Amino acid sequence: MFDTILLLVAQTTVLLAFSPFLVGLIRKVKARLQLRRGASVLQPYADLAKLFHKQPVISTTTSWIFTATPYIVFASILTAGLLVPTFISQTPMNFAGNIIALVYLLALGTFFLMLAGLDAGSAFGGMGSSREAIVASLTEPAMMLAIFAIALTNGSTNLSTIVHKTALLEGIVTDPSPHLMALAALFIVALAETGRVPVDNPATHLELTMIHEAMVLEYSGRYLALLEWAAGLKLAVFLSLIVNVFAPWGIATAVTPTAIGIGLLVYVVKTAALAVFIGVIECMFAKLRLFRVTDLLGVAFILALLGLLFFYILRS
Amino acid sequence: MSEAIFCDDLLTAAFPGILKHDPICAKSSHFTVPKDRLPAISHYIHTQPSLRGRLTLLWACDDRPVRDSYGLYYLFTLEASHHWVVLSTELAGHDRLFPSITPHIHAAQWYEREIRDMFGLIPQGHPDLRRLVRHEHWPKGTHPLQKDFSWNNVLERQQGEYRFHHIEGEGVFEVPVGPIHAGIIESGHFRFSVAGEPIMQLELRHFWKHRGVEKLFEQLTLTDAVLLAERVSGDTTVGHALAYCQAVEALLHLEVPRRANYLRSLFLELERLYNHLGDIGAMCNDTAYALAHAHCGRLKERIMQLNDRLTGSRFLRGVIEVGGVTQDIESRRLVEIVEELSHIQSDFSEVGAIIFANASLTDRLETTGVLNERTAWDHAVIGIVGRASGRDCDLRRDRPFAAYDELPVNVALYRYGDARARLRVRGDEIHESIRLIREVRDKIPNGPIASQPRSLPKPGAWTLAAVEGWRGEILYMVMAGEDGRIHRCKVRDPSFVNWPAIQWAVLGNIIPDFPLINKSFNLSYAGNDL
């Protein structure tokens, strides 16, 4: 019991403390590839600290949704993060929900974010919300199918079980094609859900092109800090999901100090490597035309579906 | 000369009542016409197949201190010969009405509204008489370019409402953008009517920072006002200063030394280079392709630092003066410039290859913001934007100034009229500018770099000068006043002509592509809002 609580606190701390680093790391990689020195990778921490000290300004036309949204978004994404194994395969919260719970916890945050975008009544918030609705409704099925393809090979929809079994090389299939298809699909979904190039541009100042940024345009002070932190958390959740579902080796499979130490180190290295890869991708591609995003997400969906079909074809 | 005779004969034959004057400058004709025949004559010049006159400038002048009348002037550029035709007319006494030519010639729309705002002269039959320059908070009856309006007058504020064109229907929304933006962008207001993402209508509302530039010119002497011309649009310092100086030199009958003319061309090309490099980078940045943006930014910086080393100013301020240039450049330095530019050119070729090979970027640029040739002609669109839409016009070739009579220019021309074509025009012009600078190095003669003005022009004498700045055709009309002062100076940045065209280029595009289209035009807010 005590162990479980301790692990729960540890996982929460790791997610909260590590996520701004990932954001800073991507920015740093982009800066270096653009011949710039770039801000320190620790800059997002300083930004959060600054924003928490600032007084928020709230439009008088907003309702309770506007002020409640940052807390709901932050809480739902953090809870989703506790369902995903990070450094230990059996997360302490694994009893609480499976991958379907994960998908809908993330959707809950997105839903409230879209409401908040509409709430202030500005032109840009509404545009951001309507675009986010397109993206979210297309990423959701692709993400579900991708994880189902993996779930089928492992015989469970519980993420901890999936990761634990894969880490111990139990029930591993000889043909990895369903895994590869699901990986590609999930990676595209991760780019779309976390608002990266080529779907959205987190660095833009052009209101008319924004998706995620347009929804949070009216926020300031601690509310903005929470939303920024939540965006970082979401990135960490997706990166953890990808590295641990597809390559969990090195993760702690037993609750011993050595295993946890190694697990923590391997986790940090793997997610950081994936973040660097995302940074490189952001430098290689231009952002897609808004209506081409649907094509990209369609590709993700088809890949995930093929992954699922392959499982049945290979089994029979 | 035969062109001039041909065009003059055609006009005098078709309209026997018009009066021919001495030409105001080379390759031009000047007629005085009765005001009620203006629409017919302009329509004839605009549509007659052998003339095809493009409305180039339309300006008014308050002559009341001298002869109790307002003057109205219409400048057309003939399509084939690039010959200028000026029509002028007078509104005598208390006459404040003149016939609008906008119903026939679309390009006159903003000019006539501007004249109404600045002079209080009313274009009869104009389809859109809302205020353009003086926003609704300016008091009624304020017309700053009337001579009895003092330049340091402080205006009171009044209430008023500008009525935008509305599209109504189910699912149609208006998206107001600006004049305050999220990034460092100048103040302009864009009102979109959209159904979903596609744009059904865009209406511009500019002129938020009227500085009274044309009024300020009237407070200065001919030689001092170069400093003001340099500041009309900060990124076009050389273009504006050069156009202004050419007008003044024509009034003073001043011969500019050949070496100075070559240096003027050099500075103009340097200005073109740094702006084009910056624009290409900025367009890539708007598609979130940050790599190309970073490299173009680096190359732009190298040129600006080169400018700084050569002249002491990154924006080439204070380089052009009436009679010549202020800075000589030794031949040793010229060789250095060419070397530096060769490095920049090879770097740019590499960046250009990356840009045009990138499929995701090409997909964003192609078919985005198409301005077809017909619309470009109707709006008299010029410069980079015109050349990307198949409008083959470049003053460096068509009406050579500075040293361009000895430096033949290959004009970049594309027909698609999309954002990619505008990017390509810029890319080609970068290579062409560097080639021209090499030619300057080879051909530049020795000699003085400036000549001193000796006489003062006769009050009331006026002339026109045109320069192909990096955005396009910059025009200055300067009319001399008493004691070497300026009676009237009309400034026309190409942005004033090209801004309305953007309203047509965006139709059918989606809202998130607008910033890219706007960037591919990259028009000046300051040069537009005098």
Distance of CA A242 to the CA centre of its chain: 9
Instruction: Give the tens place of pLDDT for each residue, B171-221.
Output: 898 889 889 887 788 899 999 999 888 999 999 999 999 999 999 999 999
What is the CATH code of the structural domain delimited by B213-521?
A: 1.10.645.10
The predicted pLDDT at position A172 comes to 63
With beta carbons less than 8 A apart as the criterion, state whether A17 and A24 touch.
Answer: no
In this prediction, residue B66 has a pLDDT band, given cuts at 50, 70 and 90, of confident
Q: Which of B177, B291, B510 sits opposite A283 (nearest CB)?
A: B291
Instruction: Give the tens place of pLDDT for each residue, B348-363.
Output: 999 999 998 989 899 9
Q: Which of A204, A207, A283 sits opposite B177 (nearest CB)?
A: A207
Number of structural domains in chain A: 1
B32-51 average pLDDT score = 91
Q: Which residues of B touch A34 (CB under 8 A)?
A: 290-291, 293-294
Instruction: Give the tens place of pLDDT for each residue, B379-412.
Output: 999 999 999 999 999 999 999 999 999 999 999 9
The predicted pLDDT at position A49 comes to 96
B2-124 folds as Beta Polymerase; domain 2 (3.30.460)
Please indicate whether, in this complex, the C-beta atoms of A287 and B175 are within 8 angstroms of each other.
no
Distance of CA B59 to the CA centre of its chain: 14
The predicted pLDDT at position A293 comes to 92
Record the pTM.
0.92
Q: Which residues of A touch B361 (CB under 8 A)?
A: 286
Q: Is the pLDDT of residue B20 over 90?
A: no
Question: Judged by CB atoms within 8 Å, which residues 132-151 of A form the interface with B?
Answer: none
Distance from CA of A203 to the nearest CA of B (A): 8
Partners of residue B80 on adjacent β-strands? none
Average pLDDT of every residue of chain B? 92
In this prediction, residue B3 has a pLDDT band, given cuts at 50, 70 and 90, of low
Q: Which residues of A touch B184 (CB under 8 A)?
A: 205
User: Over chain A (316 residues), what is each successive 10-residue block's mean pLDDT?
Assistant: 87 94 95 92 96 93 93 96 91 84 93 93 87 92 89 86 86 75 94 90 85 90 95 95 90 89 94 95 89 93 92 80
Taking the C-alpha atoms of residue B250 and residue B252, their distance in angstroms, rounded to an integer, is 5
Q: Which of B182, B287, B294 sits opposite A286 (nearest CB)?
A: B287
Taking the C-alpha atoms of residue B55 and residue B84, their distance in angstroms, rounded to an integer, is 10
The predicted pLDDT at position A97 comes to 83
Residue contacts between A and B (CB atoms, under 8 Å): 84
B491-503 average pLDDT score = 95
Q: Would you kindly state where each structural domain of chain B is located, as residue ranges? A: 2-124, 213-521
In this prediction, residue B325 has a pLDDT band, given cuts at 50, 70 and 90, of very high
Write the DSSP string, A55-111: PP---TT--HHHHHHHHHHHHHHHHHHHHS-SSBSS-TTTTS--HHHHHHHHHHHHH
Q: Which residue has the higher pLDDT, B169 or B4?
A: B169
Please indicate whether, in this complex, the C-beta atoms of B511 and A127 are within 8 angstroms of each other.
yes
Instruction: Give the tens place of pLDDT for each residue, B115-169.
Output: 999 999 999 999 999 999 999 999 988 999 998 899 988 889 999 889 999 998 8
Q: Does A283 touch chain B (CB under 8 A)?
A: yes
Q: Does A33 touch chain B (CB under 8 A)?
A: yes
Taking the C-alpha atoms of residue B409 and residue B395, their distance in angstroms, rounded to an integer, is 10
The predicted pLDDT at position B4 comes to 67
The predicted pLDDT at position B181 comes to 85
Please indicate whether, in this complex, the C-beta atoms of A208 and B197 are within 8 angstroms of each other.
no
Please indicate whether, in this complex, the C-beta atoms of B288 and A198 are within 8 angstroms of each other.
yes
Please indicate whether, in this complex, the C-beta atoms of B288 and A36 are within 8 angstroms of each other.
no
Q: Which residues of A touch B177 (CB under 8 A)?
A: 123, 207-208
ipTM for the assembly: 0.87
Distance from CA of B360 to the nearest CA of A (A): 5
- Residue A1's SS3 state is coil
CA B194, B197, B201: angle at the middle one, nearest 5? Answer: 30
Instruction: Give the tens place of pLDDT for each residue, A63-86.
Output: 999 999 999 999 999 999 999 999
CA B482, B485, B489: angle at the middle one, nearest 5? Answer: 115
The predicted pLDDT at position A173 comes to 62
Q: Does A34 touch chain B (CB under 8 A)?
A: yes
Strand B19-21 relative to strand B69-78, pairing: unpaired
Q: Does A37 touch chain B (CB under 8 A)?
A: no
The predicted pLDDT at position B297 comes to 94
Q: Does A281 touch chain B (CB under 8 A)?
A: no
Distance from CA of A38 to the nearest CA of B (A): 12
Instruction: Give the tens place of pLDDT for each residue, B432-491.
Output: 999 999 999 999 999 999 999 888 888 889 999 999 999 999 999 999 998 889 999 999
The predicted pLDDT at position B121 comes to 93
Taking the C-alpha atoms of residue B230 and residue A79, their distance in angstroms, rounded to an integer, is 60
With beta carbons less than 8 A apart as the criterion, state whether A212 and A202 touch.
Answer: yes
The predicted pLDDT at position B189 comes to 94
Q: Is the pLDDT of residue B1 over 60?
A: no
Please indicate whether, in this complex, the C-beta atoms of B287 and A290 are within 8 angstroms of each other.
no
